[in-house]
Amino acid sequence: MSDSSDWPQEIFSVLLAQGIDLVAHVPDAGHTALIHLAEEHDKVDVITLTTEEEGVGLLCGAWAGGRKGVLLIQSSGVGNCINALALPVICRAPFLTIVSMRGEWGEFIPWQVPMGLATPKVLGAMDVEVFRVSEEQRVAETVSAAGSFAFNTRRSAAVLLSQQMLGAKQFKEG
């Protein structure tokens, strides 16, 4: 993981500026710093999910109740959400997700590759607008654009954080 930038803080600042007060996530190393920032903030509720698709329903329900949320997942979890991604489209509820990518830059686990390659296409097929970021200095503006798109148009948006930016995970022996 890259420690050279404070992009998780930049993302968190954008989320707060957009009125997001609910962070749903499936634990993931790529989102660890962002999750910790949310957990430490007294006006943000953090919900740890058992599966990614739970987050889609949770955020749609939160929107119906007057709240704004974001779903933090890994690209391998996008496949678990395919059916659920129809909910915000049908209900015209805004949906924002930030996806840490796997299966690309320097990947060492072969089974991460198929879903990593398919993630943008799967999201697009489910009417989710994809915003990809590969450079740390573009993170804040990309998350801001995606959040504005989702909440202003009541549509779905996904920010894909490239594995090149996050840093490829490495296998470590015992």
pLDDT of 172 reads 58
For the full predicted model, state whether its pTM sits above 0.95: no
Q: Mind giving me the DSSP string for 29-80?
A: GGGHHHHHHHHH-TT-EEEE-SSHHHHHHHHHHHHHTT--EEEEEEHHHHGG
pLDDT of residue 170: 59
Residue 141 in 3-state DSSP? helix
Neighbours of 20 (CB within 10 A): 21
* C-alpha to C-alpha distance for 137 and 139, rounded to whole angstroms: 6
**Which is nearest to 53 in space by CA: 22, 29, 88?**
88
pLDDT per residue as tens, the chain (174 positions): 344 469 999 999 999 999 999 999 999 888 999 999 999 999 999 999 999 999 999 999 999 999 999 999 999 999 999 999 999 999 999 999 999 998 788 778 788 888 989 999 999 999 999 999 999 999 999 999 999 999 999 999 999 999 888 876 655 555
Burial class (CB in 10 A: 0-12, 13-18, 19+), 172: exposed
